[in-house]
Amino acid sequence: MANDWFRKTTWSEADQADFFARLKRSRGAGMKAQYLRIQASHLEGTNEPELVQAALILLDKMFAEFPEKNELASAFKQKAECLAFLGKPEQAVDCYRLALDAERNHPRVRTRAWVEFGRFVCDRKMTALFDEAIAVIDEMKFEDALLYPVDVFEMSGVRAIVAAHKGDSSSAKAFASNSLEASAKTNSGLRYHPTIGLVRDKETPFYKSVAALAKN
């Protein structure tokens, strides 16, 4: 397929030469930024450290050469995910913040950074950032997100974990119950996309932590 050139899951010298030759011929900074971000996403998706590192290089190239407003929030969130995978949580936090700032500056583009940041700090027990995570949720949650069970699951789960950390067991249990209720849904409520935004993995530490709080 013609689009395979910016969706590679290998990154040999030949792959790189092909990608950058086609990137050079592509028109417009906006398209170049998008091609770099999409290619980075496919390399990240391999879960191979060497290719995730290559994804970071592509994202940094996008930031340096084609910092298009429509792509910045998604690209910074992707960079945060790459850094988290590579075991660099502090740098990942910085990139989540950059993603959120990009959304504040260009609110027409929205990502899931508003809730993924909270889950990230909860998963890693970064308690010094718990208040910041809740503040971000309070500031940046938007009503459309509540259409998706996974958003409610993660948002309420974060609130539950933070409430438990603060010693508010009753709030923690209430939020955890709401989170699990969302995770149990098998239909998103969207007529034409009933399976979008469901909670699929219930074996994660996050899910187990929330489930434990619901039982307390």
* pLDDT tens per residue, range 157-191: 999 999 999 999 999 999 999 999 999 999 998 88
Which positions ≥6 away from 151 have C-beta within 8 Å? 112, 115, 145, 197
Which among 30, 6, 9 is positioned nearest to 20, based on CA atoms? 6
Asked if residue 199 and residue 144 are part of one domain, the reply reads yes
Domain assignment of residue 192, yes or no: yes
Asked if residue 79 and residue 178 are part of one domain, the reply reads no
Domain assignment of residue 99, yes or no: no
d(CA 76, CA 93): 10
* pLDDT reported for residue 154: 96
Residue bearing tokens 């990240």:
44
Domain count, the chain: 2
Asked if residue 21 and residue 68 are part of one domain, the reply reads yes
Domain assignment of residue 43, yes or no: yes
CB atoms within 10 A of CB 199: 22
Among 62, 92, 122, residue at a domain's last position: 92
What integer is the mean pLDDT of 112-117?
Answer: 96
Domain assignment of residue 209, yes or no: yes
Domain assignment of residue 102, yes or no: no
Asked if residue 168 and residue 85 are part of one domain, the reply reads no
Measured over the CA atoms of residue 140, residue 146, residue 150 and residue 156, the dihedral's sign is positive
* pLDDT reported for residue 87: 97
Range of the domain at 63: 1-92
Asked if residue 121 and residue 82 are part of one domain, the reply reads no
Asked if residue 134 and residue 53 are part of one domain, the reply reads no
**8 Å CB contact between 78 and 59:** yes
Domain assignment of residue 103, yes or no: no
d(CA 172, CA 168): 6
